[in-house]
Structure 1
């Protein structure tokens, strides 16, 4: 199979898997909007930063450890499998604080995120349940990353899609026929990674599997080596949480809960878009890491060019869809028929999604630098686009242009990051 065909196979399957995850988030939002209206969407949007933090830790452990595994395996290192069990142990340990927060202080967390008494009361059960299942979300990231990097991207995709389908079906069952409301939505979401891990587990019984569970005490050294390469995944996820938190507080000041609900609509569709580009970058990662481990620099750069071309094509298609269908997209989550919510969300979608014309390129470049063991450059790109630039742009532009300024800040941040992307890719080409 040629390199281009292999790339197409890995990337398409991983994009489908990531789309499955983002689609269940959309379904979650849709059902919640039907059950609790704009307040329900506000609860979900206030909880998104907590989800992002959990996913960030899982992504860092999974992507980083699996990348290190792929590089060492391609070099013939028989100890590569140690990163798998180590990542699982650390997922459990790092999940404990989230579980403690779920038991002891979910209401406090919601208040810290800007919720008023009505929103806190509505979201208490929802927040508590998903925090208690935090380790399972992290373990799911790890298992899928290793299965994909061990040569079975199709199984990882099938597991993701199955978990997402389970979530969508049981969202409806728990929320409506069983009458559990928002806690039912959280329960369906919390159970979906368990389904995904169970499906992925069949990989471990195959003779060709390079993974095995070898119990060892948790190693901080292996964790640090993994985190170096997983930092782009961490920053990519945590940045969404930082951005959502900042946007929420700015929008509460400008338009109250309705502004936050409008951003909830935009943010959920943005999660789908980001998932597509992350899927493309993560799908190419094991192939790039394999080339790097074998010192095939030309092959790695060919994969980078394919990734950049893919990102540009996908960005054009996404923006076309959003531009022409912004009103129907906003209407999906406007069960109360609020004209103001519809106007805020549709305008926000059209302005915000311009940023993806550059975001795909920046995500692809950061993933490439991580895959070839250049964690410093990957970190700078990720932290710039995900936190520093977008927070600065949001605060400045919202002061100048109010809500339009908030929607524009994403594109402005991606433009600034794009300049850094050019610098790091040129430097890497000169030093290779």
Structure 2
């Protein structure tokens, strides 16, 4: 009966989180689609150049939010005090959010220029950057609230918050960009306001009798923040590395083929966000369960959740790769309103090669957060660093030099395959110690 309970919990948490994470990724996808229609290839290029700023904001928000929520869940299941985690997380995300807000308001043009934007791209991207960075605290609060609600036994509310905020963004994208003709500024404003919806829906859990999250103010603690951040580091590296990878790919592609190449990578990168969100959903859905069973010392159900997560990632990877191979051309054309043949050709080839990497990427994402959920910060950190920085950056520069654009697309599959070998080694070591 116990194993059946673990299986049903896994199905509930993971299905809801996958749906929620897909919804969360859709607002950037919606931005890309509507910008391609309203502004064209320059708009996609500008969006892709500033995406690393999103990644950095989300990286810090997720590190603090997920790490604090894991600490909260483990303390709760071990009957320890967990009253300070939420306030501490909200305080420090506010501090970081205000820093991002100030930079975005004061120097948006410089930011876009530093990320590789030409004069015409800066003109398109700077207003977008200024608006969305002005709302950085809201993005971070939303991440913290969602992580705590999910770990406090309300995955349905967390899912609803994510999905409805994304739907709000998509609807407002269309309203602001087309009827109101606000262009890139409209896309930025729609994205910036969507976390308000997410936070508001999370309040339904906070107001319920089921809520155990404490709102009592306490003295902010950097030591407590650091202890939480250690468990959220895989989430941080996962988000932040996406930004670093995007910058590196943009630099290489700009030198190889110019703005059209960056626009084609924008298509590949934005579609890959949806795939990554699927595996993040599996990982984040499993996380509260792994933390719970680990805290209780229930090795049987802990191993069952990890096995279910691994099998689920492999099955989903197979489906995603098949869909991309069949529909690569129609997908690329959706984001090519100007019908630029070169853009479509690069994007189609890129989609088919790049997405092979998700056979390994899904497993790396899942295992990294699984290790964090068991307070195994070092394995989680090493996996995240390897796939997010060391191997991928070495691969893209080396393979681009050897094989031009084909090498750029091959970098992701190679990096994930190498990292997966390391993930397996860590998993085998933990099993050898009889901790699973």
- Normalised by the length of structure 2, the TM-score is 0.98
User: For structure 1, which runs of at least 5 residues remain unmatched after alignment?
Assistant: none
SS at match of 2:257: helix
SS at match of 2:367: helix
The equivalent residue for 1:393 is 395
The equivalent residue for 1:199 is 201
Choose from 44, 56, 59 the match for 2:59. Answer: 56
Following TM superposition, by how much is the alpha carbon of 1:212 offset from its aligned partner in structure 2, in angstroms? 2.1
For residues 39-71 of structure 1, give each alpha carbon's deviation from its aligned partner in whole angstroms, at most 9, with x where no partner exists: 000000001100000000011011100000000
Choose from 147, 157, 160 the match for 2:159. Answer: 157
Following TM superposition, by how much is the alpha carbon of 1:301 offset from its aligned partner in structure 2, in angstroms? 1.4
Choose from 252, 272, 275 the match for 2:274. Answer: 272
The equivalent residue for 1:189 is 191
> 1 CA distance for matches of 2:299 and 2:42?
52
Choose from 381, 384, 392 the match for 1:379. Answer: 381
> 1 CA distance for matches of 2:255 and 2:339?
23
* Aligned residue runs from structure 1 range 322-401, under 5 A: 322-401=324-403
The equivalent residue for 2:171 is 169
Choose from 8, 11, 19 the match for 2:11. Answer: 8
> 2 CA distance for matches of 1:160 and 1:317?
24
Following TM superposition, by how much is the alpha carbon of 1:298 offset from its aligned partner in structure 2, in angstroms? 2.2
> 2 CA distance for matches of 1:418 and 1:115?
34
The equivalent residue for 1:42 is 45
Choose from 15, 24, 29 the match for 1:26. Answer: 29
> 1 CA distance for matches of 2:261 and 2:311?
35
Detail structure 1 runs of 4+ shifted over 3 Å in the superposition: none
> 2 CA distance for matches of 1:425 and 1:305?
12
Tell me if 1:81 matches 2:83: yes
SS at match of 1:402: helix
User: For structure 2, which runs of at least 5 residues remain unmatched after alignment?
Assistant: none
8 Å CA contact retained: 1:55, 1:138: yes
> 1 CA distance for matches of 2:131 and 2:214?
31
Following TM superposition, by how much is the alpha carbon of 1:81 offset from its aligned partner in structure 2, in angstroms? 2.7
SS at match of 2:70: helix
Following TM superposition, by how much is the alpha carbon of 1:297 offset from its aligned partner in structure 2, in angstroms? 2.0
8 Å CA contact retained: 1:50, 1:241: yes
> 2 CA distance for matches of 1:106 and 1:39?
17
> 2 CA distance for matches of 1:168 and 1:363?
27
Aligned residue pairs: how many?
Answer: 431
SS at match of 2:39: helix
Structure 1 window deviating more from structure 2 (334-343 vs 296-305): it is 296-305
> 1 CA distance for matches of 2:278 and 2:194?
20
> 1 CA distance for matches of 2:157 and 2:45?
35
Aligned Cα RMSD in Å?
A: 0.7
For residues 114-153 of structure 1, give each alpha carbon's deviation from its aligned partner in whole angstroms, at most 9, with x where no partner exists: 0000000111110001111111111101000000000000
8 Å CA contact retained: 1:204, 1:212: no
> 2 CA distance for matches of 1:134 and 1:23?
19
Structure 1 window deviating more from structure 2 (1-10 vs 338-347): it is 1-10
> 1 CA distance for matches of 2:164 and 2:192?
14
Choose from 149, 160, 175 the match for 1:147. Answer: 149
SS at match of 2:338: coil
> 2 CA distance for matches of 1:221 and 1:300?
29
8 Å CA contact retained: 1:17, 1:161: yes
> 2 CA distance for matches of 1:76 and 1:16?
31
Structure 1 window deviating more from structure 2 (313-322 vs 216-225): it is 216-225
> 2 CA distance for matches of 1:221 and 1:214?
19
> 2 CA distance for matches of 1:99 and 1:361?
35
Following TM superposition, by how much is the alpha carbon of 1:422 offset from its aligned partner in structure 2, in angstroms? 1.1
SS at match of 1:2: helix
Following TM superposition, by how much is the alpha carbon of 1:367 offset from its aligned partner in structure 2, in angstroms? 1.2
For residues 11-37 of structure 1, give each alpha carbon's deviation from its aligned partner in whole angstroms, at most 9, with x where no partner exists: 000000000011121111000001110
